[in-house]
Amino acid sequence: MERREDESIAVVGGGPAGLAAAEVLAAAGRAVTVHDRMPSLGRKLLMAGRGGLNLTHGEPLPAFLGRYHPPGALAEAIAAFPPDALRGWCEGLGEPTFVGSSGRVFPKSFKASPLLRAWLARLDGLGVAVRPRHRLVRLTEDGLLFETPDGERLVRPRATLLALGGASWPRLGSDGAWTAALRERGVPVAPLEPANAGFSVAWSAHFRERFAGEPLKRIGLDFRGARVRGEALVTAGGIEGGAVYALSRVLREAVRAEGTAEVIVDLRPDLSESDLAGRLGAGKPGESAATRLRKAAGLSPVAAGLLREACGNALPPAADALAALVKGAPLSLTGTASIERAISSAGGIRLDGLDGNFMLRDRPGTFAAGEMLDWEAPTGGYLLQGAFASGRAAAAGMLAWLARQP
């Protein structure tokens, strides 16, 4: 049975963007209700913190903003709530932060749960109401239709903030099902695609069975002039990890357009090719290629195995040719991992469908923030920073809009 209910402000989505917006709105004296389809809030945040909650990054702001695509995406929102402001906010919740050796910023507790508990307590103190197990079904002419354990509920808020996430990690609540409801109302939505995801590689059976799950440490990846350094992980079906994620957008676009993408792997980015050739050529007569690669080049077994995959298992005997292969092993990527296994997703509400205050151009009073917008960034703290900053910016835009209403 459908029930009607009028509320001041509805926030739909209880992740970082939605909760950040709810905090700003409630602190301004507005009555706010957060609706979420899951039994509890912040589930994806908790999952992100399992290996250490990477909140943001410590690099200078101009370089930081350059990590976002399309260029300029979220720039004003992040400038208004930059990494230092996010760190100060955490400090205010009793969770001081530190900058790791890679520049990534973490809570000193290294966990998400203490931060989330303190945040939810603050929101409760501000009077924010929470309605779990509320799944958005449709945007009606004058409200929001939710599916709840007690039947359908129609909410008619004065203003709405949508923060429904993308389509990665769907079991945590963000399954992308909202795209149909928004397209039905004429909202421009770009297809959701995996971002910060792995790629398929046609490994040989021997390599797959022996090395699936093994890390490739301190490598370089190059794709058409875009070069990164970091680590990767061999999987049974391909390759993933931070270095791969940093190139995921351009690799994904190449695979979509051409069917494959050939990335160049530098297994010793700290050595020049000439130095490496000298080391490889100085080995003892009669040494096997595997021994030379281990002793002279310092390659792990999985790295040496990848070289064999790149050259059809026949390693070149000459030192200079072998050094060139170590510095530039070609690896053919044949597809992207599923969006369910991706760390984040690209696509969503097109940015040109929003005004400068994050309000939908064709639906006054409805705002959007977070991963459901069509922007993407690599891992390293940029995703959470974007969610926090866009949620707060959308809330500020809503307050300005409400102030102009009768």
Q: How many CB atoms lie within 10 A of CB 203?
A: 21
Mean pLDDT score of the chain = 94
Of 165 and 341, the one with more pLDDT = 165
pLDDT band of residue 289 (cuts 50, 70, 90) is confident
Residues 183/363, Cβ–Cβ less than 8 Å: no
pLDDT score for 284: 75
pLDDT of residue 361: 96
> Kindly report the CA angle at 173 between 64 and 380, in degrees rounded to 5?
20
Intervals of CATH 3.50.50.60 along the chain: 3-195+345-403
Mean pLDDT of 331-355: 95
User: What is the reported pLDDT for 317?
Assistant: 87
- 172-223 confidence digits (pLDDT tens): 888 999 999 999 999 999 999 999 999 999 999 999 999 999 999 999 999 9
Q: What is the mean pLDDT of residues 70-77?
A: 96
Which H helix or E strand runs over 313? none
35 DSSP β-pair partners: 12, 131
Rounded Cα gap, residues 70 and 381, in angstroms: 17
For residue 5, what pLDDT is reported?
Answer: 53
With tokens 């993408």, the residue in question is 261
Residue 288: per-residue pLDDT: 78
pLDDT recorded at residue 3: 44
Distances (CA, A) of 381 to 86, 104, 225, 226, 386: 11, 7, 24, 21, 9
Site of tokens 């680590």? 231
- Please give the CATH number for the structural domain made up of 3-195+345-403: 3.50.50.60
Strands 226-234 and 215-223: antiparallel
Task: Give the single-character DSSP code of 341.
Answer: G
Give residue 4's pLDDT: 45
Cα 201 off chain centre by: 22
pLDDT of residue 45: 94
Q: What amino acid occupies position 54? A: N
| pTM confidence score | 0.92
Q: For the chain, where do the domains classified as CATH 2.40.30.10 start and end?
A: 199-336
Task: Answer for the pair 402, 157: CB distance below 8 angstroms, yes or no.
Answer: no
b (16+ CB within 10 A) / e for 54-74: bbbbbbeeeebbebbbeeebb
Question: Mean pLDDT throughout 289-311?
Answer: 91
Amino acid at 91: E
The DSSP-derived string for 374-406 is: S-B--SSSHHHHHHHHHHHHHHHHHHHHHHT--
CATH code of the region 199-336: 2.40.30.10
Q: What percent of the chain has pLDDT over 70?
A: 98
404 burial via Cβ count (<10 Å: 0-12, 13-18, 19+): exposed
SS3 content of the chain, % helix, strand, coil (to 5): 35, 25, 35
